[in-house]
Amino acid sequence: MKHTQFSKLRSIAPDQALEKARRAKEAGPAAIDATIGEIRDEHGRTLVLPSVRKALGALERKHVRDFGYMATDHAPEKFCESVQPLIGKHPHIACVPTEGGTGAMKANVQLVKNIDPDMPLIATNPGWSHLNKLVKQSDMDIRYISYMENGEPDVEMLLRFIRKKTSAVLFQGFGHNPTGSDYTHSQWQDIAKVMGTRRSIALMDIAYQGLANVPEADTKRIQTLVRQGVTVAVAWSGSKNHTLYNERVGLAAAITADESERKRVGQHYGEAVRIQRAHGPRIVATVQNEFGEEWLQDLTRVRSDLFKRRERLQKILPEELGQKVAGSGLFTMLPLRIEQIQKLEELNVFIADDGRINIGGIPLNRMEELAEKIKSVL
Ligand SMILES: Cc1ncc(COP(=O)(O)O)c(C=O)c1O
């Protein structure tokens, strides 16, 4: 066969993180897989929260067999309403179910572009590695500002920039990916004040709600912004906190001032998303509507497990490195060089190329092995 038009396509480098996760999977159960942010149980199996199992059982009994197209404003089982309390009690929220938190972020970046294509879009670095690609697709310019200074989150550079110009800034909720370290309460207050004065836009990326802190911690952060007059759009993900990764459940939500704004945002969300998935949103809505208390207890248990794993790693690494295992939630970032990370892979230990370790992926009883292997490449 002769070349077709497809030969003209530019080639695209594979996603490093997903490639590494694939290699880790292929290496089998002997491997320590600390790559992508999945939570695994003590046997190394992908965890399914008990409350989610219950919701699946309840849905099975209801025998839902409705496979018709679903427009964006007909979410199943009141999905948007069921997630809204996690975002906050605001009278006029525009919501759309999306394909994971990624789809929500896409819809929100598009919203900013539709408001003002020249508005500076700011993100912090290091941050979520997929963000770059996502923003590139939107064709907006993004500017990265350093997130850490002397091993801790820092806001000075960010404040300097956002004081000057009305901007759209991408923030993560608690459980920062990849560092595991979050802004303090007073840093957040400063950000809210400056952004409010400029009437800037906060694009909140809430992908780990309830896993690094209680769920209300994120809700309160959103409220602080709204109270200061910041325009807020949330990209909420149900992937990790409902352990439903491949169901791709997410929600974009914009906190608007009145019904007219809410309708307008709804139209733009509708254009960005059009048709939605049903099964994942149905599961999340059932968890929230029928098993909400159990879900909160599940998250408390997961947070406690993650904390124990983190603490174990901290204790058994050499002191100087152990001190770097900061933060909470799924991730921590160790200052390892790429050669050391490659050597770890030869030892069947898979961590991200930037030194990010997904603590959630490693059972407590394998922390010692991980620490020993890290020590051997130092
Ligand atoms: C910070 C951050 N935001 C958003 C997402 C996207 O989540 P989802 O898998 O629901 O698209 C992730 C996923 O890893 C993430 O780490």
For the chain, give the mean pLDDT. Answer: 94
**Over the stretch 108-160, which tens digit does the pLDDT of each residue have?**
999 999 999 999 999 999 998 888 788 878 888 899 999 999 889 999 999 99
**Over the stretch 74-93, which tens digit does the pLDDT of each residue have?**
777 789 999 999 999 899 99
* Angle, CA of 118, 124 and 125, to the nearest 5°: 125
Q: Is residue 61 part of a domain?
A: no
Question: Given this model, what pLDDT does residue 368 score?
Answer: 93
Question: Given this model, what pLDDT does residue 132 score?
Answer: 79
The verdict on the CB of residue 243 being under 6 Å from ligand 1 is no
pLDDT band at 326 (very low <50, low <70, confident <90, very high): confident
Ligand 1 centroid–CA 71 distance in Å is 24
Q: Is 319 helix (H, G, I), strand (E, B) or coil?
A: helix
Is there a single domain that holds both residue 345 and residue 256? no
Question: Given this model, what pLDDT does residue 86 score?
Answer: 97
The verdict on the CB of residue 207 being under 6 Å from ligand 1 is yes
Whether pLDDT at 276 is above 90:
no
CA distance 124 to 145: 5
**Over the stretch 216-265, which tens digit does the pLDDT of each residue have?**
999 999 999 999 999 999 999 999 999 999 999 999 999 999 999 999 99
Is there a single domain that holds both residue 217 and residue 319? no
Number of domains in the chain: 2
The verdict on the CB of residue 181 being under 6 Å from ligand 1 is no
Structure tokens that stand for 288 in this block: 């929230």
Mean pLDDT of 333-360: 95
The verdict on the CB of residue 239 being under 6 Å from ligand 1 is yes
**What percentage of residues in the chain have a pLDDT greater than 70?**
99
Is there a single domain that holds both residue 82 and residue 180? yes
The verdict on the CB of residue 205 being under 6 Å from ligand 1 is yes
Out of 132, 177, 241, 277, give the residue to mutate to test ligand 1, the one with the largest number of ligand atoms within 8 Å of its CB.
177
Is there a single domain that holds both residue 81 and residue 169? yes
Q: Is residue 283 part of a domain?
A: yes
Burial class (CB within 10 angstroms; exposed 0-12, middle 13-18, buried 19+) of 63: exposed
Question: Given this model, what pLDDT does residue 136 score?
Answer: 79
Ligand 1 centroid–CA 252 distance in Å is 13
Expressed as residue numbers, the domain containing 217 is 68-290
pLDDT band at 15 (very low <50, low <70, confident <90, very high): confident
Estimate to the nearest angstrom the gap between the alpha carbon of 286 and the chain centroid.
21
Residue 337: closest CA among 356, 362, 355, 364: 355
Considering 290, 315, 343, which residue would you say is the last residue of a domain? 290
Is there a single domain that holds both residue 124 and residue 213? yes
The closest-lying atom of ligand 1 relative to the alpha carbon of residue 239 is 10
Residues 6+ apart with CB under 8 A from 357: 34, 313, 331, 332, 333, 334, 351
